[in-house]
Amino acid sequence: MMVRLAKSKVAFEQACRVLVGGVNSPVRAFGAVGGTPPVIAFGEGAKITDIDGNTYIDYVCGYGPLILGHAQEQVVTAITKAATRGSGFGAPTEDQTQLAEVLLTAYPQAQRVRLMNSGTEACMTAIRLARAATGRNKIIKCAGAYHGHADSMLVQAGSGALTLGVPSSPGVPAATAATTIVVPFNDIDAVRKALEADKDVAAMIVEPVCGNIGTVPPQKGYLQALARACHAHGALLIFDEVMTGFRLAFGGAQEVYDVLADLTALAKIIGGGLPLAAVVGPAATMDLLAPAGPVYQAGTHSGNPLAVAAGLATLAPLRTSAAYGRLEGLGADLAAGLRQAAAKAGLVAADRVCIQRAGSMLTVFFTAGPVTNYQAARTCDTRAYAAFFHAMLEAGVNLPPSQFESWFISLAHSDGDIRHTLDAAADAFSSAAARLT
């Protein structure tokens, strides 16, 4: 396959004249890997096609939401049907209740749901609720973790911010940043120390599997220890399951790791590709939200009928246990094959590559590994990743354009797609190996 991007180049230059940096979310601009991003025309199943007519097996999957693949038939039908009935009422609908009931079957310890529009909003709302519930101000987060772009969370943020080399952002007041305490992921002692040193901690917010520095699973017992430490100090534990919710299992990371959070932020998969997010939690805390309580939170588009329809259609087939077994199988095959290909290129023996996976989330780190936190992720050879990325793109495989993102596998990916990916990876690892010094 020979990827030509003549039309994409022209279209991206045109975009750059009117859209900031040519994009609407930073990592899409290819700043971390160089070159021009393909301008996408359409997606179908596990594949996307750009305006030059190149087709790629896609492991970005909209950065996580598209667990059923692109333009999945039932999802398209649900959105189309909903659209013919009106695109928004700013009023209760039966579907909103139904979606909330589905979310509560996945998180049975919770009794209430508030629907909203983005993961940023969900994390922001969970934090506000925790502060209101405890009467405290500080929040603990992990270095490199991404919890959306609200002011208090742009302190050593991951993904785009990490890639851009700006650990925190101008425009965030120092006083706001000072309410956030940053600890390393997988380090329970750091959390205990922070809780002992500061009695004003309302909550710790954590990605139970870090996904925004690449895929970094929690060490055994870490999440349970977090819950114990937070509760011992009267603080809440917020799980940001925006990425892991309905990705790792129907009950998210809380099901997989057998641990319960006090509040859970959800987004991505629950909107089936449309903007939708939620906070779920116990009635006692959630009912602090207006109109039941005094904590303000609102949204013109919250519970939008198209997004709710797409969410319901996406979550329905995930309720079968077969779905996650299939994703686990694809993930295991892909990870094992990648490890083999990297070993063949001499990268594993040379301690240059380490592959980490949690279910259908995966990252090829260009470092010795294991990558257990942000500090370790920063040792990655991002130039080797860029070479690997471009070799894969050239071979028709679309990976995230940054070392510090997770790949996502969908139920639309076939065994043949995995095989093609591994064939491409064999060559791509060799070309990355040739770039190493």
Ligand X SMILES: *Cc1c(COP(=O)(O)O)cnc(C)c1O
Catalytic residue among 268, 374, 385, 417: 268
Stretch near ligand X under the rule CB under 6 A, chosen from 76-84, 143-151, 164-172, 417-425? 143-151
The full 3-state SS of 142-197, as one line of letters, equals ECCCCCCCCHHHCECCCHHHHHCCCCECCCCCHHHHCCEEEECCCCHHHHHHHHHH
The Cα 30–Cα 39 span in angstroms is 12
Q: Does 220 participate in catalysis according to the annotation?
A: no
Q: Does 412 bind ligand X (CB under 6 A)?
A: no
Q: Does 207 bind ligand X (CB under 6 A)?
A: yes
Least CB distance to ligand X at residue 158 (A): 8
Task: Select 11 or 280, whichever has its Cβ closest to ligand X.
Answer: 280
CA distances from 415 to 215, 329, 422 (A): 22, 10, 11
Site for ligand X in 346-385 (CB under 6 A): none
Least CB distance to ligand X at residue 243 (A): 4
Of the candidate residues 70, 112, 147, 390, the single one contacting ligand X (CB under 6 A): 147
Task: Select 253 or 348, whichever has its Cβ closest to ligand X.
Answer: 253
Of the candidate residues 180, 212, 373, 421, the single one contacting ligand X (CB under 6 A): 212
The full 3-state SS of the chain, as one line of letters, equals CCCCCHHHHHHHHHHHHHCHHHCCCHHHHCCCCCCCCCCEEEEEECEEEECCCCEEEECCHHHCCCCCCECCHHHHHHHHHHHHCCCCCCCCCHHHHHHHHHHHHHCCCCCEEEEECCHHHHHHHHHHHHHHHHCCCEEEEECCCCCCCCHHHCECCCHHHHHCCCCECCCCCHHHHCCEEEECCCCHHHHHHHHHHCCCEEEEEECCCECECECECCCCCHHHHHHHHHHHCCCEEEEECCCCECCCECCHHHHHCCCCCCEEEECHHHHCCCCCEEEEECHHHHCCECCCCCECCCCCCCCCHHHHHHHHHHHHHHHCHHHHHHHHHHHHHHHHHHHHHHHHCCCCCCCCCEEEEECCEEEEECCCCCCCCHHHHCCCCHHHHHHHHHHHHHCCEECCCCCCCCEECCCCCCHHHHHHHHHHHHHHHHHHHHHCC
Catalytic residue among 47, 50, 141, 240: 240
Stretch near ligand X under the rule CB under 6 A, chosen from 36-44, 89-97, 236-244, 384-392? 236-244
Q: Does 43 bind ligand X (CB under 6 A)?
A: no
Of the candidate residues 43, 45, 144, 211, the single one contacting ligand X (CB under 6 A): 211
Least CB distance to ligand X at residue 357 (A): 16
Catalytic residue among 59, 63, 107, 146: 146
Task: Select 69 or 400, whichever has its Cβ closest to ligand X.
Answer: 400
Q: Does 243 bind ligand X (CB under 6 A)?
A: yes
Stretch near ligand X under the rule CB under 6 A, chosen from 6-14, 27-35, 142-150, 217-225? 142-150
Least CB distance to ligand X at residue 422 (A): 26
Task: Select 229 or 276, whichever has its Cβ closest to ligand X.
Answer: 276
Nearest CA among 323, 329, 370 for reference residue 210? 370
Site for ligand X in 149-168 (CB under 6 A): none
Task: Select 112 or 147, whichever has its Cβ closest to ligand X.
Answer: 147
Site string (255-284) toward ligand X, x via CB under 6 A:
------------x-----------------
Q: Does 287 participate in catalysis according to the annotation?
A: no
The Cα 221–Cα 224 span in angstroms is 5
Least CB distance to ligand X at residue 282 (A): 21
Total residues at the site for ligand X (CB under 6 A)?
14
Q: Does 240 participate in catalysis according to the annotation?
A: yes
Q: Does 48 bind ligand X (CB under 6 A)?
A: no
Least CB distance to ligand X at residue 301 (A): 13
Stretch near ligand X under the rule CB under 6 A, chosen from 145-153, 171-179, 248-256, 336-344? 145-153
Site for ligand X in 66-125 (CB under 6 A): 118-120, 123
Residues contributing to the site for ligand X (CB under 6 A): 118-120, 123, 146-148, 207, 211-212, 240, 242-243, 267
Residues with a known catalytic role: 146, 240, 268
